[in-house]
Amino acid sequence: MERLVKSGSGWRIGWNPNALEFKGLVGTDDWAIELTEAELDDFCRLLAQLADTIKQLAAELMDEEKIACEAESDLLWMQVEGYPDEYSLHFILNTGRCVEGKWNASAVPGLLQATAMLKVF
C-alpha cells in the first residue's frame, strides 16, 4: 500500500505504512503533526467513541443545549464540544512531543468519515 492522504475543508489525515516511525498524519489547512501507528489508531478509535457517545446523548439534550465529552488513552486526550450535530474536536498528545490541535465543527464530519476509511486491513 502506498502513502495515503485524505483532506477536506479544514482537515487532513494521512497514512504511510512504509514510514519507519511516524506512519500517521493529522491536521488542518494550517498545521499538521505526524503520529506513530499506535497514536493514529488511538486517535481514530477515540474519535469514533466520542462521536457515538455524543449521538447517544442527543436525545437527552434540549435543542439549544451544548455538551462536552472527553476520552483518553495513554497516548492522547480528546474532547468534542458543541451540539450533537455540530461539534469541535480538540486533542492533546501525551507522548512527550507536547502537541495540541483543534478542528472546527465544520471540519469534524469529514474527518470522522475519513478516519473510518483510512486503514483498510
Question: Per-residue pLDDT averaged across 59-82, rounded?
Answer: 92
- Check residue 96 and give left, alpha or beta (phi > 0: left; psi -120 to 50: alpha): left
Q: What is the pTM of this model?
A: 0.92
The more confident residue out of 2 and 103 is: 103
Q: Are the C-beta atoms of 116 and 48 separated by less than 8 Å?
A: yes
pLDDT at 121: 40
- In percent, how much of the chain has pLDDT > 70? 97
Q: CATH 3.40.630.30: does it fit domain 4-117? A: no
pLDDT at 120: 54
